[in-house]
A and B are shown apart, each in its own frame.
Chain A
Amino acid sequence: MKTNRIHIPMPLRYIINILLTVALWGVLIALIAEGIITNYWSGILVTIGINIILAVSLNVATGYLGQLPLGHAGFMAVGAYAGSIYMKATPLGDLVRSGNTLAGLPYIIVALVLSGVVAGLFGLIIGIPALRLRGDYLAIITLGFGEIIRVVLTNIDSVLGFKFTYGAAGLKQIPKISSFTLVFICVALTCLIIHMVMKSRHGRAILSIRENEIAAESVGINTTYYKVMAFVMSAFFAGIAGCLYAGYLGSLFPSTFKFMKSIEILVMVVLGGMGSMLGSVLSATVLTVISESLRSVGDLRMVFYSLALVLMMIFRPKGLLGSYDFSMSRILEKALGFIFRPAARKEKKKGGAVK
């Protein structure tokens, strides 16, 4: 196909994307510093960031792998508790309170990695048996695991004999580490890593399982390995989101991580379009803003949520964006081609179907 696109070489593409991300961060941080984005809205920005990580990570298991795990909140809970218990054991709390967050950075990084790894480990333990099952059974078994994690977090103290998760009373006084910048970096890294994995041969293997598991197996793809890998990756980032969530609120309650939370994340993925990262990011953003502004009408918010889910499935089962994914460089390439190669454009107009 004769195209009027100008090809941008690979390293340049990455540089453009990095520059754009940094520019976005700069604009947002400047707006916060200037007070145009108020304290209230910068808090919502943090929530949006956390929800984006959750949605994008669930999208790996739902959109790319094509399974339906219903226990994402469980992984988030595991990560949140692991990270917070670690952070409470370190002098991080005093450092954050005295405003010296930078000195606590090593602790923060360890906490984030730890929460991701612990959640990933749970993903591995749950994934290996669960992924032997298909479709509905997988959904149910992950739902069961999610509920068990919650029940255990509520009751574990009475078994251990000492205060560990503080049960239903809640884990409190967690160092508030989740500044806007930290969450922004985590969001960017999550999207980057998932994007890179999905563009690699591993990613294509995962996609092939979604398309047809039997066919994938017959061309020599180790389906069990890749299914577990996608599942663990999904759990890993959910754990990090959980840690950020704990570091944002400062307290944790097992009742936060009910089945409903998993569904909320699922709604974000489904509305955005299963298998589209941009879809997940956009719908996480839009839904968080909507639900924040609907906070005054509490119950109605959930009615809206569920109605949207049903209507979406009936009228547009692929989500708003389907599996369309966004690429800044592709748009740039098209724009450049439009400017610099008018000849090709004319030809296209004249010929109709230029092949």
Chain B
Amino acid sequence: MSYVFSQAVNALQLGSIYALVALGYSMVYGIILLLNFAHGDIIMVGAYVTYYAMTSFHLHPLVSVVLAVVMCTLLGVVIEKVAYTPLRSAPRLSLLITAIGVSFLLENGAQLIFGTDTKSMVQEPLISGSLTLGGVSITYAALITIVVSVVSMIALTILVQKTKLGKAMRAVSEDMGAAQLMGISLNRTISFTFAVGSALAGIGSVLHIASYFQASPMMGSMLGLKAFVAAVLGGIGSIPGAMIGGFAIGIVETLVTAAGLSTWKDGVVFAILIVVLLLKPTGILGKKITEKV
């Protein structure tokens, strides 16, 4: 019983991080139809910021967390301004290749600056201790991860549905030209979307390092790819879809690991992606778009 419970917590913990990252993918794709490959690497940067703030500068954990989220947000906006804005009218392929380039630039830059080794924070965890409730125990890290991601998702939903900026975002993703004619500032809205997506990635990075205590230059690429799978699974461009997808991938991965097949887990995740793309290319909650001539 307690084994099942702890596995369920693991699945939710992992799933909520995937969901947060997937939301960033989904939002950016929804607005400018770009697969932002660099999104996963923003998490890597966030993890390093947290690590150095905590271990080298001995900042208060809360300050480190805020610093990491702010840095991620800034990074996301800078990437958008420098690399993606000049290409807004270029073919989609160019944009996609640029995103891949930015992603590799971040990874290799991190390797150059921080070294190739994995930095471990086991000695100085961000959140320590655990809560015992009626025979089953749950670490505070897991609890906070799940709570924070659920709260962030609710906040995001309110932001997109109820605020004026959210309305602008939805309008731009619906029809960029028409939105512009209605007086919506395209640049501001897109930058804002990147900022929100990257802030979510920042939160994800903090939660990731709190849960798994590690930072390495390549951590973002696999995490990002899997979060992207989650976004596709749920239906890219849809916020609740990204959440469902994230949790689904977390559960599947935990199940595969629990079955003792942890070396196969990446393969299984991608196999799910392929099956989903073939059976329902728009994902669970995605909208079907018919191409007009």
Among the 9-residue stretches B5-13, B82-90, B205-213, B241-249, the one with 4 or more Cβ atoms under 8 Å from chain A is: B82-90
Give A303's nearest chain B residue, CB to CB: B108
Which of A135, A259, A270 is within 8 Å of B221, CB to CB? A259
Which of A266, A307, A317 is within 8 Å of B105, CB to CB? A307
Within 8 A of A (CB), among B91-119: 91-98, 100-105, 107-109, 111-112, 116
Give A274's nearest chain B residue, CB to CB: B93
B21 to chain A, nearest CB (A): 15
Give B235-279 as 1s and 0s: 1 = Cβ < 8 Å from A's Cβ atoms.
000000000000000000000000000011011001101100110
A263 to B104 Cα, complex, angstroms: 9
Q: Report the interface size for chain A: residues with CB under 8 A from the other chain.
A: 38
A189 part of interface (Cβ distance < 8 Å):
no
- Residues of chain B lying within 8 A (CB to CB) of residue A303: 105, 108-109, 112
A155 to chain B, nearest CB (A): 5
Interface class of chain A by DSSP: helix
B228 part of interface (Cβ distance < 8 Å):
yes
Q: Report the interface size for chain B: residues with CB under 8 A from the other chain.
A: 45
A110 part of interface (Cβ distance < 8 Å):
no
Whether A141 contacts B93 by the Cβ 8 Å rule is no
Interface class of chain B by DSSP: helix
A-B contact count (CB 8 A): 115
Which of B104, B232, B270 is within 8 Å of A305, CB to CB? B104
- Residues of chain B lying within 8 A (CB to CB) of residue A143: 225, 270
A107 part of interface (Cβ distance < 8 Å):
no
A310 part of interface (Cβ distance < 8 Å):
yes
- Residues of chain B lying within 8 A (CB to CB) of residue A145: 270, 274
Whether B264 contacts A314 by the Cβ 8 Å rule is no
- Residues of chain A lying within 8 A (CB to CB) of residue B105: 303, 306-307, 310
B23 part of interface (Cβ distance < 8 Å):
no
A155 to B266 Cα, complex, angstroms: 12
A329 part of interface (Cβ distance < 8 Å):
no
Further contacts, 20 of them, CB under 8 A, given A145-B270, A307-B101? A66-B93, A129-B278, A132-B278, A136-B92, A137-B277, A137-B281, A140-B35, A147-B266, A148-B271, A151-B270, A152-B267, A155-B264, A214-B293, A266-B100, A299-B108, A303-B112, A306-B102, A307-B105, A314-B86, A317-B94
Residues of chain B whose beta carbon lies under 8 Å from any beta carbon of chain A: 29, 33, 35, 83, 86-87, 90-98, 100-105, 107-109, 111-112, 116, 221, 225, 228-229, 232, 263-264, 266-267, 270-271, 273-274, 277-278, 281, 291, 293
21 example contacts (A-B, Cβ-Cβ < 8 A) are as follows A68-B96, A133-B281, A135-B93, A137-B281, A140-B35, A140-B232, A140-B273, A141-B273, A144-B270, A147-B267, A155-B263, A260-B104, A299-B108, A300-B112, A302-B104, A306-B104, A306-B105, A306-B107, A310-B105, A313-B90, A317-B94
